[in-house]
Amino acid sequence: MAGKAAPKKKGKEKVSIDLATIGGLFLAVGGILGGLILEGGNIKDVAQITAAMIVLGGTLGAVLVTTPVSVLLKAAKQLPLVFINKAQSAETAIEEIVELATKARKSGIVSLEQDLEALPDPFLKKALSLAVDGMELKELRKMMELEIALEEQRTEEQAKVYEAAGGYSPTIGIIGAVLGLIQVMKHLENIEEVGKGIAVAFVATVYGVGLANIFFLPSGNKLKARARRTILMRELVLEGVSAIVEGLNPKLIRSKLEAYAREESSSKQAKAPKPAKQKQGAAAPEAAPAKN
């Protein structure tokens, strides 16, 4: 049975750097700083440690008040997912499930027990384990759907941490600007220093608004997108395992799960109508003489 190692390798998640996130951050920051320089400004004009301390410290404090520490720590652990794409393709998961279904159809679903330990996806492993143990399909679906719902709720809570930070940071930036203006008002006798002080005071606002709209809010949305992708894969796996339990034909299972791979196979599907168009074009010349 060592020959069944192929589906085990296919199930491994592919880890890649999310170039969209990194490129987006560089483009946003570069565009802002580039505009500043073109307007005759200097990067030193917005390099204020005190402003960064006020915005970051105030935002973190507000998030701590809003969010339980356990959720905050989990959200911090999810931050790498903003920069790293760690996912298994739907087509790969379908291939793995079809191979498991083929084996179950030939040797019985109990024969899949020896493959459980090598399955890298814990969700697939748990669902298949319950199926091998003889749990009724209705109860199996109910249990795994509950796990999907709880996973969706957890990821939603973690994404909301970044959304909350994106809501607080602009306001904290305004507080920083007001604090800076208070210090400026103490030295009204020196007009030149007042002008410089006002400019520095508004740096906190720039930090607050910039962090919210360039990092915090986009990060929350990216984590939500990752979560939706994960939930979609969980649903695919559950449908696949359910089909295996029902004893469906592997070809039918593949057809049933193809809907989950439409996005990834869109380029392949786009090529499908082309032969049909060629046939129609070939039929047109035959139709023309008929009209004459």
Over the chain (292 residues), the average pLDDT of each successive run of 10 is 42 76 93 89 85 93 94 93 83 88 88 85 90 90 93 92 95 91 79 73 91 95 91 91 90 86 52 44 43 42
Which residue matches tokens 């483009």? 27
Beta bridge partners of 84: 17
**pLDDT for the residue numbered 117:** 82
Which candidate, 166, 186, 178, 185, places its Cα nearest to that of 203? Answer: 178
Task: Let me know if residue 268 belongs to a domain.
Answer: no
Is 9 a domain residue? no
Distances from the Cα of 57 to the Cα of 53, 168, 259, angstroms: 5, 11, 46
What 3-state class would DSSP assign to 217? helix
In a domain, 291, yes or no: no
CA nearest neighbour of 240 among 24, 31, 88, 85: 88
CA torsion sign, 89 to 91 to 96 to 101?
positive
Q: What is the pLDDT of residue 263?
A: 54
Name which of 137, 171, 145 is nearest 59 in CA terms: 171
Taken as a whole, the chain contains a residue count of 292
In a domain, 276, yes or no: no
Instruction: Give how far the C-alpha of residue 154 lies from the chain's centroid of Cα atoms, to the nearest Å.
Output: 14
Q: Return the DSSP state at 112.
A: G
Task: Name the DSSP class of 207.
Answer: H
Q: Which residues of 205-225 are buried (b: 16+ CB within 10 A; e: fewer)?
A: bbbbbbbbebbbbbbbebbbe
- Using a 10 angstrom Cβ sphere, with 0-12 exposed, 13-18 middle and 19 or more buried, the burial of residue 204 is buried
What is the radius of gyration, based on Cα positions, of the chain? 28
Confirm whether 7 is domain-assigned. no
Any domain includes 113:
yes
Instruction: Indicate whether 269 belongs to any domain.
Output: no
Question: Tokens 């939500």 correspond to what residue?
Answer: 224
For residue 156, the enclosing domain spans: 14-262
Instruction: Return the pLDDT at 264.
Output: 52
Question: How many domains is the chain built from?
Answer: 1
* pLDDT value for 219: 95
Residue 281 lies in a domain: no
Residues near 279 by beta carbon (within 8 Å), at least 6 away in sequence: none
pTM of the model: 0.77
